[in-house]
């Protein structure tokens, strides 16, 4: 059983830093490809990714956490307070 702190939707993301703007550019084998405008320096790309996802699904930034792949292009992201179907629906409309 998951604890309340870790409950929510998990998505896999491939981050493409240095884009012109923050945007989802596709989904490949269940992994969202997301361009972020920030560079991967001092965690700026990760911070931008979390802010982008939070805004896209309508949660607080503190409800979005990178749970795996903090220093990798492919990450696992937890969105607290949301179910997977809702997150996928909202992200597909972004």
pLDDT confidence bin for 2, thresholds 50/70/90 = very low
Structure tokens at 15: 């981050």
Q: Is 14 helix (H, G, I), strand (E, B) or coil?
A: strand
pLDDT score, position 93: 80
User: Kind of pairing, strands 31-36 and 74-80?
Assistant: unpaired
pLDDT score, position 3: 38
Domains and CATH numbers, the chain: 14-89 (3.30.1200.10)
């Amino acid at each position: 059983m998951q604890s309340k702190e870790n409950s929510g939707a998990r998505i896999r993301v491939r981050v493409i830093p240095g884009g012109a703007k923050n945007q989802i550019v596709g989904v490949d084998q269940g992994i969202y490809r997301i361009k972020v405008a920030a560079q991967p320096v001092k965690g700026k790309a990760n911070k931008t990714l979390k802010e982008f996802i939070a805004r896209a699904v309508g949660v607080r930034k503190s409800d979005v956490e990178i749970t795996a792949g903090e220093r990798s292009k492919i990450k696992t992201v937890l969105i607290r307070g949301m179910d997977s179907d809702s997150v996928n629906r909202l992200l597909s409309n972004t």
